[in-house]
Amino acid sequence: MVVVKDMPDIIDNISTFEGYLKNPKMQEFAISLIKDASSFVAVKKENGYKFYPSRFVGHKNNSYDAYQRYNLDSGRDTIEIISQILKHKPNPMKDVEAEFGKFCLKLGFTAPEAGVAGAEHQYWIIGIAE
C-alpha cells in the first residue's frame, strides 16, 4: 500500500480514524489498533490529546477495508515517511504518555505499557485547527 505524501494525507487519515472511534460499529477496530501500536501521531487539542496509530495514518487513503486487504500489521514503513513530513522523529515522552493514558481511559480501557511487540510508545506532536 502507498504511504502518505504530505500533511493533508495524514489529516485525511486522522479524520477517517476519528470517525471510526465515534462509530459504534468501527470503534472496536480502532481501539485494537491503539492497543497494539507503539508509534502515534498525537494531536494536541484544547482539552487534551488524541492519538492516532502511525500504521493507520501513514498509508494513503487508509480505511478499514484497505487495512484488512493489505494486512497492515506493522507501521515500520510509515515511521520514516511521517518523520519526513513532520520534520522530526517520534520520541518517547513521559508527559505525553500520561496524556495517552487519559485518552485510553476515555475510550474505556487502560493504556498498554508498550506496543504489541514490547516497543516503547513514541509520539509525534502536532496541532490541527478544529
Q: Which pLDDT value is given to residue 90?
A: 96
> Is 93 part of a structural domain of the chain?
yes
Q: Which pLDDT value is given to residue 112?
A: 94
Q: Which domain holds residue 82?
A: 7-127
The secondary element (H helix, E strand) that includes residue 23 is none
SS3 content of the chain, % helix, strand, coil (to 5): 50, 15, 35
Amino acid at 52: Y
pTM of the model: 0.93
The answer to whether 58 and 78 have CB atoms below 8 angstroms apart is: yes
> Is 34 part of a structural domain of the chain?
yes
> Is 2 part of a structural domain of the chain?
no
**Would you state the cell numbers that stand for residue 97, as one nine-digit string?**
504518555
> Is 112 part of a structural domain of the chain?
yes
Q: Which pLDDT value is given to residue 79?
A: 93
Domain count, the chain: 1
The answer to whether 104 and 111 have CB atoms below 8 angstroms apart is: yes
> Is 1 part of a structural domain of the chain?
no
- Number of helices (H), then strands (E), belonging to the chain: the values are 6, 3
Q: pLDDT tens track of the chain, all 130 residues?
A: 899 999 999 999 999 999 999 999 999 999 999 999 999 999 998 888 999 999 999 999 999 999 888 775 556 789 999 999 999 999 999 999 999 999 999 999 999 999 888 999 999 999 875 5
